[in-house]
Structures are given as structure tokens and as C-alpha cells.
């Protein structure tokens, strides 16, 4: 399987925040953003592996900045690391000022998708070769996040999380 680059999975989704998608403070409802990120990440993962993909984990989402109704929200997703069948998708969420067009980073999200066949059995995906400094940084830290996610899901014994343990060494 040929190694691919993060840029080949780049997926950009831009949409408005409508009144029905907000909380009582007239800011975007968190679940709405999670759903948009899930769809964007799913397309991104599919572009990397060209297989059926399913969401395995929402690893991290930071709701750092409220997104007011009427905002134009852009989610940019790339595969940050591909393992055997799992892919980590790293997303940056931007909002843009109506008058100046200036973009502000509102949130980040990290999801894990798994490529499967028609029976739902995991299948191998192409490896990925990060190119930019940011891509390399996200690639390097992805194994730690995978191990943490597996521990939280009860699928890995913390004793086996070698990469994670290095953080505390």
C-alpha cells in the first residue's frame, strides 16, 4: 500500500450557525459542532484510505471559544497519523469576522476512525508521511493519544502504554 501525505486527506467544511443550532446564550450548541466534526473527520479518513470508515473514539474536543449565532464556521481536518486500521484525525475550527474576513481559531478536535470492510471487520490503511512541522508534531504525539484513548476505553492495560509513560519518566 502506497504511503500517503496528510494533505491528500485535507477536508474543509464551511457552514453557517443557524438559530436552531444554538444554546440559550445564542452560541453554537456543542453537540452540533461535534456532529459537524464527525462528518468532516469521516470524509477526511475516507479520503486517506478509500474504505468504509467508522468513528471509534472522540479523543479530545476543546470548546475554547463560544461561536455566536450567524457565524461562518470552518472545520479543517487532516489525518495526523495512520496506524494499522485506525486513523487519527486532527481538526482545527475557525470562525471568520463578517467585515474583515479575519479568521480566529475557535476550537480543536481529535477523533479516531477505523477502516472496515463490508462486515465491519477492521482492514489495513496506508501509512502516512507528515511533511510540515505541524504535521510532524501531531504525528509524533498521536501514539500517546491512542494509548490514552485505549486505556480510557478499557482496551489497554496502562502498564503496556510505553509511549504514554515516557511523558512521566
**CA dist 68 → 19, 62, 126, 130 (Å):** 10, 16, 39, 34
Check residue 153 for interaction with ligand COA (CB under 6 A).
yes
CA distances from 160 to 16, 77, 164, 166 (A): 44, 30, 9, 12
| In the complex, minimum distance from the CB of residue 141 to ligand COA, in angstroms, rounded to a whole number | 14
Q: With binding defined as CB under 6 A, does residue 55 bind ligand COA?
A: yes
Rounded alpha-carbon distances, angstroms, from residue 15 to 21, 33, 132: 12, 11, 27
Q: Is 107 in the site for ligand COA (CB under 6 A)?
A: no
Residue 158 dihedral angles phi and psi, to the nearest 5°: -50, -30
Which member of 19, 20, 101, 120 binds ligand COA (CB under 6 A)?
Answer: 120
For β-strands 86-96 and 103-116, DSSP reports them as antiparallel
Q: Considering only the stretches 18-26, 62-70, 71-79, 84-92, report the one whose residues sit in contact with ligand COA under the rule CB under 6 A.
A: 84-92
Shortest spacing between CB 152 and ligand COA, in angstroms: 7
- 10 lies in the site for ligand COA, by CB under 6 A: no
84 binds ligand COA (CB under 6 A): yes
Binding residues for ligand COA (CB under 6 A): 54-57, 83-86, 112, 114, 116, 120, 122, 146, 149-150, 153, 155
Amino acid at each position: 500500500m502506497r504511503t500517503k501525505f496528510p494533505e491528500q486527506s485535507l477536508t474543509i467544511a464551511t457552514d453557517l450557525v443557524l438559530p436552531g443550532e444554538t444554546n440559550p446564550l445564542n452560541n453554537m450548541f456543542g453537540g452540533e459542532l461535534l456532529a459537524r466534526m464527525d462528518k468532516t473527520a469521516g470524509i477526511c479518513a475516507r479520503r486517506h484510505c478509500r474504505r468504509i470508515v467508522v468513528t471509534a473514539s472522540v479523543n479530545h474536543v476543546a470548546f475554547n471559544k463560544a461561536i455566536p449565532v450567524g457565524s461562518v464556521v470552518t472545520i479543517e481536518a487532516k489525518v495526523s497519523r495512520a496506524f494499522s486500521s485506525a486513523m487519527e484525525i486532527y481538526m482545527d475550527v475557525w470562525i471568520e469576522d463578517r467585515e474583515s474576513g479575519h479568521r480566529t481559531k475557535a476550537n480543536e478536535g481529535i477523533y479516531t476512525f477505523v477502516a472496515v470492510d463490508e462486515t465491519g471487520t477492521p482492514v489495513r490503511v496506508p501509512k502516512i508521511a507528515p511533511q510540515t512541522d505541524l504535521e510532524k508534531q501531531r504525528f509524533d504525539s498521536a501514539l500517546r493519544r491512542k494509548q490514552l484513548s485505549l486505556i480510557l476505553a478499557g482496551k489497554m492495560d496502562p502498564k503496556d502504554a510505553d509511549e504514554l509513560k515516557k511523558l512521566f519518566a
